[in-house]
């Protein structure tokens, strides 16, 4: 059984799963996180917890630049192309 601090309980909302497996998200949570009809939701298992992550424009924008290449750094794709060319050249020599 997971441990919840008093702080966690103050921010806790309760919902019930329907017989069809549907979950109604409390309106306060929907408003706060911009969850609208059709919003995609990711469920992430983290130990004995389930993280409920709405995939909103804000969530997607939070990743902007996270995979940006540093100056002088080769992309993974570029490295793969160079590796394949080297393998092909080696095969052609044999």
Give 54's contacts (C-beta < 8 A, 6+ positions apart). Answer: 33, 34, 35, 39, 40, 41, 42
Whether residue 82 lies inside any domain: the answer is no
Query: Can you give the pLDDT at residue 18?
Result: 92
| Structural domain includes residue 45 | yes
pLDDT at 7 over 90: no
Instruction: Give the structural domain span for 20.
Output: 6-67
Tell me how many domains the chain contains.
1
* pLDDT tens column, 67-76: 677 788 887 7
The model's pLDDT over 9-63, given as tens digits with 9 standing for 90+, comes to 567 888 899 999 998 999 999 998 889 999 989 999 999 999 888 888 777 777 6
Look at residues 21, 26, 60, 20 and name the one whose alpha carbon lies nearest to residue 40: 60
Is the residue at 61 inside a domain? yes
């Amino acid at each position: 059984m997971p441990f919840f601090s008093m702080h966690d309980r103050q921010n806790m909302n309760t919902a019930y799963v329907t017989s069809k497996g549907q979950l109604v998200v409390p309106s306060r949570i929907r408003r706060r996180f911009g969850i609208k009809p059709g919003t995609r939701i990711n469920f992430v298992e983290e130990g004995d917890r389930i993280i409920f992550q709405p995939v909103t424009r804000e969530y997607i924008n939070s990743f902007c630049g996270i995979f940006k290449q540093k100056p002088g750094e080769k992309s993974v794709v570029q490295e793969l192309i160079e590796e394949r060319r080297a393998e092909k050249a080696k095969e052609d020599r044999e």
